[in-house]
Amino acid sequence: MSHLTIVPLSSALGAQISGIDISQPLNLEQRDAIEQALLKYQVLFFRDQPIEPQQQARFAAYFGDLHIHPIYPNVPEQPEVLILDTAITDVRDNAIWHTDVTFLPTPAMGAVLSAKLLPEFGGDTLWASGIAAYEALSAPMKTLLEGLTATHDFTRSFPLERYGNTPEALTQWEEARRKNPPLPHPVIRTHPVSGRRSLFVNEGFTSKINELSETESEVILKFLFAYTTRPEFTIRWRWQKDDIAFWDNRVTQHHAVDDYRPARRVMQRATVLGDVPFFR
């Protein structure tokens, strides 16, 4: 039997889970209980979970195939686990509201983030619920957005001037750019499991709404970026070492607060691939 204890953290999203050691293999009941909690609460937090990269990848792989990031460094013996180390990599693109890898045709279903080294203060992460934001929209605004698509562009968070400034980095960036051209996703996305609708644009990767004029697109996107991240649709997590966060990337976005420099922060992430976004 599963003995998970689930404590909701806000009405919009978020729950803390205890009663499980995710460094160990899961049985089917545990896996299903975590998936159901994820569908309901959208982001799950686990305290005191010291895990090795191999264990982190194994846990994430219970929920789908894993992604290897085209830019960020990874654990050499476990390339599906990327390293977000402020002493090595400029992670400014995490310090804006974004949904992970929406520049892919099949953006991430979710991600498992592990806290390895934390600053003495600061470095919290916020998540926002696209479901809560969508459901709070007026009926006319929902009607306006239905059927629209938006372009998601790799270069918005990985610009050439920051990620192509050495010959080796430039080669890597050009290859990533070639493999990830701008592509469209629906502005409103239907969750493939729950059927709930969610706003699916984010400041990190969304560049324009395709069916609108440039001016109209700019105004609507500016509104949606600000609206979706209103406090009532968000939750803020204060990290402790060996915390794990597991979020549903299909219906959330997040923001890693960059308020701890020059201190160092090291996180490791395993990303679970999803499916093609759709609206119905």
Q: Quote the tokens at residue 80.
A: 């599906």
- Tell me if 107 sits within 8 A of 274, measured CB to CB: yes
Residue 16: partners with Cβ closer than 8 Å, 6 or more residues away: 6, 7, 9, 44, 45, 46, 47
d(CA 194, CA 177): 33
Residue 54: partners with Cβ closer than 8 Å, 6 or more residues away: 77, 78
Cα 147 vs. chain centroid, distance in angstroms? Answer: 23
Count of Cβ atoms closer than 10 Å to residue 10 Cβ: 18
d(CA 188, CA 149): 8
The DSSP-derived string for 123-136 is: --EEEEEHHHHHHH
Catalytically annotated residues: 98, 100, 254, 269
Amino acid in position 229:
T
